[in-house]
C-alpha cells in the first residue's frame, strides 16, 4: 500500500511543482504577474522590502519579477527619506515596473515632536502610499493619531516580539488603538507573535477590523531558541493563519519578510512563495 502524505508534506510537494513551473514572459511584465487581487485568491501576497536590505532598487525590481509578486511594503533602504520630488521619481520607477507600493516602513515615531512626524508623513504622502507600518511609543501615539487624521494615512503598529518593550504582541497594539480613530491599526508579524507565545490565528481573529498589514515568516523552535526558515519548513500553522485572515475578510497584504540569508535571499523567498501559493491552492483557491 502506498504511503500517505501528511497535509504539510502534500503542500510542500505542491509548492515544489509550482516553483518549478515558469510563466511565459511578456513585453509588459506587470501584465504577466500573478495578481491575487484580480484572481479568485482571497489574499494578496506581497513582500516586505527589508528582505532585500543588502540590495538597491534595480535589484529589488528584478527580484519582484522573479517572485511574480506585485505588492511591496517598502523600507527606506529602497525609498530614502529625501526631497519629495526625488521620492516621487523613485516611486515612479517602481510603478513603471508594475509594482504597487502598499505600505511604507517600518517607520519609527519615537519623538513626540510635530516636526519629526510631519516630515515622515510628508514623505509617505509624496510617495502616494496609503499605509505606514509604524514603530511608535505609547507616549507618541496621541500625536500620531492627530497626523493620521490630518493626512488621511493609515497606521499599522508593528509588534517585534519579547524584545519590544512597547508592543511585543499585536494585542498590546490593539489595546492602544481600539478606542482611537479607525485609521489607527496594527501589523501582525506572524513570527514575532509566535515568539511572544501567542497563537497567531487566534490573535488575527481577535484584532480583526484593526488589522491593516501582515508580515509573514516561518520559524522553528529548538529547545526555546527560535530560528527563521523558508515558509513551509517551520512550525507556524500557515494554513490556519490564512484561514483566519480569510475568515475576517482581511483586505490588506500578506508580506513575506525574509530576514535570513540577507546576501542571497531569493532562493528561500521563491520557496516560500511557492509554499504559500500551494497552501491557497490546497484550500481550493486558484491564481
Q: Kindly write down the DSSP assignment for every residue of 4-59, as one continuous string.
A: PPPHHHHHHHHHHHHHTPPPPP-SSGGGGS--GGGSS-SSEEEEEGGGGTTS-HHH
> What is the arithmetic mean of pLDDT over 169-196?
97
Percent pLDDT > 70 in the chain is 86
Q: Is the pLDDT of residue 60 over 60?
A: yes
How confident is residue 7, by pLDDT bands cut at 50, 70 and 90?
Answer: low
Question: In the predicted model, what is the mean pLDDT of the chain?
Answer: 89
CATH code of residue 118: 3.20.20.150
Q: How high is the pLDDT of residue 223? A: 87
Which residues form the domain of 86?
Answer: 38-282
| 215: enclosing H helix or E strand | strand 211-216
The C-alpha cell that represents 231 in the structure block? 515558509
C-beta separation of 134 from 103 below 8 A? no
Is 215 part of any domain?
A: yes
Residues 48 and 105: their CA atoms lie apart, in Å, by 9
Is 24 part of any domain?
A: no
Is 271 part of any domain?
A: yes
Nearest to 172 by CA among 146, 197, 144: 197
Q: For residue range 201-221, what is the model confidence (pLDDT) as tens digits?
A: 999 999 999 999 999 999 999
> What is the arithmetic mean of pLDDT over 268-283?
96
Is 5 part of any domain?
A: no
Is 159 part of any domain?
A: yes
Q: For residue range 235-272, what is the model confidence (pLDDT) as tens digits?
A: 999 999 999 999 999 999 999 999 999 999 999 999 99
Q: How high is the pLDDT of residue 85? A: 87
Is 193 part of any domain?
A: yes
> What is the arithmetic mean of pLDDT over 36-50?
80
What are 135's strand-pairing partners? 108
φ, ψ of residue 233 to 5 degrees: the values are -95, -5
Report how many helices (DSSP H) and strands (DSSP E) the chain contains, helices first: 10, 10
How confident is residue 22, by pLDDT bands cut at 50, 70 and 90?
Answer: very low
Is 51 part of any domain?
A: yes
> What is the arithmetic mean of pLDDT over 121-130?
97
Residue 78, exposed/middle/buried by CB under 10 A (0-12, 13-18, 19+)? buried
CA 220, 221, 226, 227 dihedral sign is negative
> What is the arithmetic mean of pLDDT over 268-284?
96
Nearest to 79 by CA among 48, 123, 119: 123
Q: How high is the pLDDT of residue 83? A: 86
Give the chain's domain count.
Answer: 1
Is 25 part of any domain?
A: no
List of residues 6+ apart from 46 with CB closer than 8 A: 69, 70, 71, 72, 73, 102, 253, 254, 255, 256
Q: How high is the pLDDT of residue 24? A: 35
Nearest to 100 by CA among 149, 38, 41, 54: 38
Amino acid at each position: 500500500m502506498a504511503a500517505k502524505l501528511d497535509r504539510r508534506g502534500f503542500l510542500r510537494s505542491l509548492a515544489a511543482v509550482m516553483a518549478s513551473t515558469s510563466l511565459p514572459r511578456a513585453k509588459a511584465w506587470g501584465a504577466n504577474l500573478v495578481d491575487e487581487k484580480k484572481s479568485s485568491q482571497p489574499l494578496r501576497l506581497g513582500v516586505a522590502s527589508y528582505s532585500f536590505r543588502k540590495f538597491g532598487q534595480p535589484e529589488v525590481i528584478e527580484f519582484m519579477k522573479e517572485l511574480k509578486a506585485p505588492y511591496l511594503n517598502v523600507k527606506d533602504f529602497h525609498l530614502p527619506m529625501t526631497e519629495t520630488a526625488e521620492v516621487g521619481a523613485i516611486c515612479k520607477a517602481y510603478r513603471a515596473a508594475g509594482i504597487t507600493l502598499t505600505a511604507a516602513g517600518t517607520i519609527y515615531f519615537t519623538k513626540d515632536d510635530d516636526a519629526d512626524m510631519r516630515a515622515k508623513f510628508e514623505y509617505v504622502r509624496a510617495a502616494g502610499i496609503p499605509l505606514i507600518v509604524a514603530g511608535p511609543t505609547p507616549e507618541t501615539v496621541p500625536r500620531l493619531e492627530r497626523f493620521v487624521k490630518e493626512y488621511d494615512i493609515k497606521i499599522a503598529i508593528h509588534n517585534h516580539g519579547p524584545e519590544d518593550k512597547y508592543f511585543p504582541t499585536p494585542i498590546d497594539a490593539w489595546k492602544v488603538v481600539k478606542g482611537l480613530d479607525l485609521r489607527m491599526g496594527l501589523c501582525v508579524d506572524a513570527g514575532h507573535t509566535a515568539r511572544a507565545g501567542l497563537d497567531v490565528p487566534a490573535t488575527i481573529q481577535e484584532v480583526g477590523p484593526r488589522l491593516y498589514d501582515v508580515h509573514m515568516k516561518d520559524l522553528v523552535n529548538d529547545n526555546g531558541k527560535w530560528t527563521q526558515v523558508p515558509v513551509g519548513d517551520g512550525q507556524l500553522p500557515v494554513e490556519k493563519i490564512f484561514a483566519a485572515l480569510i475568515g475576517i475578510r482581511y483586505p490588506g497584504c500578506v508580506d513575506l519578510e525574509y530576514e535570513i540569508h540577507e546576501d542571497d535571499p531569493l532562493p528561500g523567498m521563491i520557496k516560500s512563495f511557492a509554499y504559500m501559493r500551494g497552501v491557497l491552492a490546497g484550500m481550493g483557491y486558484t491564481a
